[in-house]
Amino acid sequence: MFKKILIANRGEIACRVIKTAKKMGILTVAVYSDADKDARHVELADEAVHIGGSASRDSYLQADRIIAACKTTGAQAVHPGYGFLSENEAFARKVEEEGIVFIGPKHHSIAAMGDKIASKKLANEAKVNTIPGWNDAIETAERAVEIAREVGYPVMIKASAGGGGKGLRVAFNDKDAFDGFTSCRNEARNSFGDDRVFIEKFVEEPRHIEIQVLGDSQGHVIYLNERECSIQRRHQKVIEEAPSPFISDETRKAMGEQAVQLAKAVNYQSAGTVEFVVGKDQSFYFLEMNTRLQVEHPVTEAITGLDLVELMIRVAAGEPLPLTQAEVKREGWAIECRINAEDPFRNFLPSTGRLVRFQPPRQTMFAADTEHLYGVRVDTGVYDGGEIPMFYDSMIAKLIVHGRDRAHAIALMREALNGFVIRGISSNIPFQAALLAHPKFVSGDFNTGFIAEHYGKGFHAEDVPHDDPDFLVALAAYMHRRYRARASGISGQLEGHGVKVGEQFVAVVLDAEGQHVHKPVSVTDFHGKAGSSAVAVDGKTYHIESHGALGNVRVEGLVDDRAFVAQVERGAGKNPLALRVSHNGTQIEAVVLSPLGARLLKLMPYKAPPDLSKFLMSPMPGLLVEVSVQPGQQVQAGEKLAVIEAMKMENVLFATQDGVVGSISAAKGESLAVDQIILEFA
């Protein structure tokens, strides 16, 4: 077994590998860029080596520096994680040539599967179902249209070296095929340095289901069941689960056996994933093979009770697989939500900056630990007070739950999301909460078009229907009553002018139109020590009990003898007197006042918000890559004004109406904050 390994990655996956290495008694070496000098993976590792600038191309993609770091630290093996150099055949070969072990498949297996055209041909030879299509590189847009007609619309146009949703278009007609081919080719050239593009049949109502395989150097290969990855937004996975609620045992077995055939055909030695697209009739076709550990590997770990990172390390050290196909378990149901630094209410734009608060829900399962299953696990590479840099992808944590069955896992996940506190940046937690509550998701009736179909016009606050919205108002009144009780007990108050608590209140809540809604609330039967009250709203009474300290964002307790987890903050919204209450993805801001205070509030003059239509403001934090206009220039609606880059995404800002550019306030190369003014129209 290795004495020391280097992890050629960052973030949560680097932390994940370090945990398994520590469990196995192996020393670890981290590598880091300028932006990651204070990162969590650097702190967790036994040693750390600086390898360059903040941008990936200056650090985590620098193969020679990583190999040099192995030599200077005496690391015998490299774990590449996922992303960066994990599926780079040249890197794997170079590592092997330098006498260092690559904890992953051999370079020839990566090469065979890394090229989508070559891998489809190989899959055909290995008797694996493949999608009808044209598997050779296509030279011109005109030829692409001809082939698309032959295959039959709709077709999918894909870059051979593509991945992560880049270099992929769906065409429903000749125009789509012509335009899609051109943009795919350009995207592939810019993202991967390889502009080869091919075409295949687009499967309707498709599911994205993948099989986890594991091979050793003795030629044994097994499959570890499947993962359901159909909940995707723009080809990026959002929720993954294992097993799939859709496929039958016969389909599972057939897919698993084909995945093993393919792995054996390329002499596969490590953990890998064979991805299939599955039609509504359970017909399945090979998509591609990922020759690395997947982001969603924890759901497989939960249902099988196996540590995949440990198995990767053991196989790389030459050990045989410790189990046979018949010994692979499938127990319970696991779901993973990717928690991303993005604002779902601003069309999922990246959100970077300092994590003012980062408090994951209470964990009962842990990475690298297969003893404690059935519960909650959080894999992350960030910490409270840390920085989310703009240079890397937007995922800040993975929330994993393992339940007895699917319904139990969904309930566990909803509760865990309620208790996940992230402040300072926006996160996609409200969106995840909405997906988990959607009746079609709950029933398991979905495909890869689910998010586009139900949230095609973006995601809005009203897309999260709460099953009991008055509970949020009751909780605001309950917490207000507790704050009043604490204030009334402060010594030294002027006689006759002390804080009076009272039992009758009015909760003033902003509705979707921005209008104040006044809701009379009574908070009675208050017991300070027991932390309980009876709260009446709209003729319904809630018995709420909580022992949490005031000031904690996370509030846990009982409502009508049922456990709940919610988040309550004072002064977090636009009104410093308001309580912001979040539960099951729904958020309200409520000012709880005495009846007199509420009457006086109604007499306050309305302050209209300022007119910001003459400004172009940055919709997200990021780097201003380009300002496309000059002062005095006449622009038309739809014309490009500026380009902002963050988290490997380019966001082009267009004019929403005709106008004349007045002054320009931000310069190319400047780092912008959210809502920072870029230019003003005359």
Active-site annotation, residues? 288
Contact of 345 with 461, CB cutoff 8 Å: yes
State whether the Cα torsion 559-563-567-569 is positive or negative.
Answer: positive
CA dist 565 → 27, 414, 462, 562 (Å): 39, 9, 21, 10
- Is residue 5 within 8 A of residue 102, CB to CB? The reply is no
Phi then psi for residue 405, to 5 deg, are -145, -175
40, 379 contact by CB (below 8 A): no
Pairing of strands 554-559, 562-570: antiparallel
| Cα–Cα distance list, 455 to 3, 231, 400, 663 (Å) | 50, 12, 24, 36
How would you classify the pairing of strands 659-664 and 634-635?
Answer: antiparallel
Walk across the sheet containing 640-646 and list its strands: 649-654, 640-646, 622-627, 671-672
Residue 94's φ and ψ, nearest 5 degrees, are -60, -45
Query: What Cα–Cα distance (Å) separates residue 485 from each residue in 261, 489, 490?
Result: 68, 7, 9
Element (H, E) at 403: strand 395-403
**Closest among 128, 125, 94, 122 to 109, alpha carbons compared:** 122
Paired strand residues for 627: 642
Q: Are 222 and 324 in contact (CB under 8 A)?
A: yes
Q: Which two tokens stand for residue 496?
A: 């006759």
Q: Which residues contact 84 (CB under 8 A, 6 or more apart)?
A: 8, 9, 56, 60, 61
Q: Work out the burial of residue 239: count CB atoms within 10 Å of its CB; fewer than 13 is exposed, 13-18 middle, 19 or more buried.
A: buried
Q: Which residues of 499-511 are buried (b: 16+ CB within 10 A; e: fewer)?
A: eebeeebbbbbbe
Peptide bond into 243 cis (omega under 30): yes
Distance CA 311, CA 323 (A): 11
What are the residue ranges of helices labelled H in 127-233? 141-151, 174-192
Nearest Cα to 210, choosing from 223, 233, 229? Answer: 229
Residue 620 CA neighbour count, 13 Å, CB half: 29
Give the pairing type, strands 155-163 and 166-171.
antiparallel
Instruction: Dig out the tokens for 53 from the structure.
Output: 């600038």
Main-chain dihedrals φ then ψ at residue 416, nearest 5 degrees: -65, -40
Nearest-angstrom CA–CA distance, 446 and 440: 6
Q: Round to whole Å and give the CA distance between 445 and 160.
A: 31
Cα dihedral value 31, 37, 42, 47, nearest 10:
60
